[in-house]
A and B are shown apart, each in its own frame.
Chain A
């Protein structure tokens, strides 16, 4: 399996607090890797560093051989990295359809093939003129978005034209995933996709992630529901206080005494141990 993502000595400080402290990580194509750890362990910060929303103070991040340590999020998205957010961030005033179509932005030919300095101008002209190539790709994307939404059964398809703010919380999180899939990512980062969902919804989400995995999608997952993690993951990475304290297949990690202690002995009380 090819190596898709490599982190070397990645570090991020906020004032006096070291959120991510020298993390190394290797991620291979086709894997489903879960990152777990108590609250405040630095998981979301790690995601932010990988996706370019934040910049590491030290270390190196490579995606498919390309150095993305200081790359802007737009560029990282264009390389094929899609993410969802911890609290679910959809475009509230846009319809479900438009939300998902935005996911495909980096795949649009008129965006990808825009020439250097006058790129915005050509993009503008093509958008105004709408030549057959553009129209064709748009039609293809419309068809594709229906396929993506079909993953979620009847939850989203009937609501194609509804604005996202009118959706239930669970539906909004589903739209987020649909949007990520529209990017046709080489690597999908899911930040607590089942946060705030009840059992039925969580089970549905588990099923969807499993389907995606079966199709060969490479997934990096942050999750708190440890039974989910254990059932889905090929490998698990455990973080605590910004440091990677364990890594390996789920069975090995679950019994690792350091992991148990991190959860049990952690000041953030209330963690459920699988």
Chain B
């Protein structure tokens, strides 16, 4: 049983590391009810500032830490002031998306400056190690633990005994009341973002030194684990963040002990979903929450949609259908085929996120289910492709809805976190269920579509897009569309008028799942090879950007958004290294200046 002690120590060590991240997230959430998806990027910036100090300035560790703290505090303030303050009056979804965009931009800037190669970040501490159980801990472990405790203590004193700290707590409890009592909520926001930024940056430095490894792709995982730890401990609770992180570390470690390393993240996300479903307020939330306040604001940006005259739609559809008759444009056709397939995904997401208001951050999971279902049906059961694709759509509808079902009782950002978790879980299950999916090796030799040519793929995808779009128009114009939008706008009032949330959210996800599953299935037959990395979370974010660009809930908008975000980067291929940066900036500008999208929300 000695090893269990080692697993426990290991779990606590890694939990310690997660805690540094989670505390910053907790502070920001507590005060502004915002999940700062850019926190992981601040973490990375901190690591690189540290690297620069160590490599070029040769500063001793305490000085490096101070520089990182100060620099990232400033970054935090800048993010709040430039990125988020202008959105104060906007729809509540805006800050959520803005932090995603900010994170993207920060990561890309770092990559352009420092190149993507990982770098070493040595620590200057003495090399002694203390044996603990079967392993050892070193000076860095102790330092990280010390920093965790000291930050926790300092925060505690700050929040409880200083005037500004009281202002922060008051704002966290009730922003409007605090403002009316004379609290300068702007100062509070600044303070909180500065502290969170400083902690995030410091944790990047510490972890970079701990592993002697920093790279520009660290952010996403950092944010993800930080969010999971937060949810476990209770969103907005600083002690909860620390305890939740330790628990997360332990569960991961024990999970590996029991089942092996490839199940590690699966455990983390399964735990996330379990908590969200059973105790959404977290394990360590102190008081029993009162029933949620009625949503007095709108979640999406209110607007009047631009009406696209039917003749324009028909003309575009005919033009698109006729395009392959133009000779020698296979590149354009391929790009547009890609665009049609993404448009189907965008249709699905605009239904779920736009019409029903469930901002799903894991929609790529549907693509994966559809792709694998169709590929395996065709390969293992010799089902003809023409049959496999729609059947895959149905399988995705059923399976996808079943997976998200436990999250139906959640609201607002909790839905986003839950769907993010489900998306990750789908990928991890595909990776680990080798007897079915061939695991990491992937599925090769997937039979092609019945019309095996560039034009054929184009027409099939376009045809499916038009068909599914028409169905969706019909759906949204019916009583179901009204029920969906009622849920989005005010789910309490919706229930009061007979609209059962489970039933209609389930329907929406099923319809959306069907469409996305078909898109994934067609993709699989087009590519002839898929594996668990073919449909990543980056696709989920891309789909969300498309939907916002077009206008949440707007069907023609979803198609326009998809084609734009697939087509334009192809036009700008020359600026390859800047592409992701431009894309991140586009997202931010969109949210700031036209949150209702090009064609308006519906």
Contact = CB atoms under 8 A, between A and B. Distances in A.
A102 B494 contact: yes
The 3 tightest CB contacts between A and B, nearest first, are: A106-B498, A127-B478, A77-B498
B496 A102 contact: no
A127 B479 contact: yes
B302 A87 contact: no
A82 B496 CA distance: 7
A93 B483 contact: no
Nearest to A129: B474
A124 B495 contact: no
B483 A105 contact: yes
B475 to A, nearest CB: 6
Interface string A116-131: 0001100110011010
Nearest to B504: A120
A94 interface: yes
A85 B296 contact: no
B196 to A, nearest CB: 31
B163 interface: no
Interface string B258-296: 000000000000000000000000000001101100101
A93 B478 CA distance: 16
Interface in B480-496: 480, 482-483, 485-486, 488-490, 492-496
Contacts of B498: 74, 77-78, 105-106, 111, 183
Given A54-B291, A105-B479, A128-B478, A74 B495 contact: yes
Given A77-B497, A87-B296, A120-B506, A165 B302 contact: yes
A190 B474 CA distance: 35
B289 to A, nearest CB: 10
A19 B300 CA distance: 34
Contacts of A92: 298, 302, 489-490
Interface of A: 14-15, 51-54, 72-74, 77-78, 82-83, 85, 87, 89-94, 98, 101-103, 105-106, 108, 110-111, 119-120, 123-124, 127-128, 130, 138, 163, 165, 179, 183
B503 interface: yes
B454 interface: no
A10 B135 CA distance: 60
A190 B307 CA distance: 37
Contacts of A98: 482, 485
Nearest to B483: A105
A105 B493 contact: no
Interface in B385-435: none
Interface string B463-476: 00000000100110
Contact of A165 (B298, B480, B486, B493): B298
B294 A89 contact: yes
B290 to A, nearest CB: 6
A91 B471 contact: no
A91 B489 contact: yes
Contacts of A14: 290
Contacts of A93: 298, 300, 302, 485, 488-489, 601
Nearest to B302: A165
Contacts of B511: 124
A7 to B, nearest CB: 18
A123 B511 CA distance: 12
B507 interface: yes
Contacts of A78: 498
Please indicate which of the listed interface residues B471, B500, B507, B601 has the most CB atoms of chain A within 10 Å of its own CB: B500
Contacts of B573: none
Given A93-B485, A124-B511, A183 B290 contact: no
B499 interface: yes
Contacts of B485: 91, 93-94, 98
A103 B478 contact: no
A94 B304 CA distance: 10
A211 B478 CA distance: 32
Contacts of B503: 119-120
Nearest to A182: B497
A53 B492 contact: yes
A106 B495 contact: no
Contacts of B287: 15
A98 B476 CA distance: 12
B301 to A, nearest CB: 9
Contacts of A82: 496-497
A77 B492 CA distance: 12
Given A72-B500, A127-B479, A94 B489 contact: yes
Given A98-B485, A130-B474, A15 B288 contact: yes
A110 B480 CA distance: 11
A163 B304 contact: yes
28 contacts: A51-B496, A72-B495, A73-B495, A74-B499, A85-B492, A87-B296, A89-B492, A90-B490, A90-B493, A91-B485, A91-B493, A93-B489, A93-B601, A94-B485, A94-B489, A98-B485, A102-B482, A105-B483, A111-B498, A119-B503, A120-B506, A124-B480, A128-B475, A130-B478, A138-B479, A165-B298, A179-B497, A183-B498
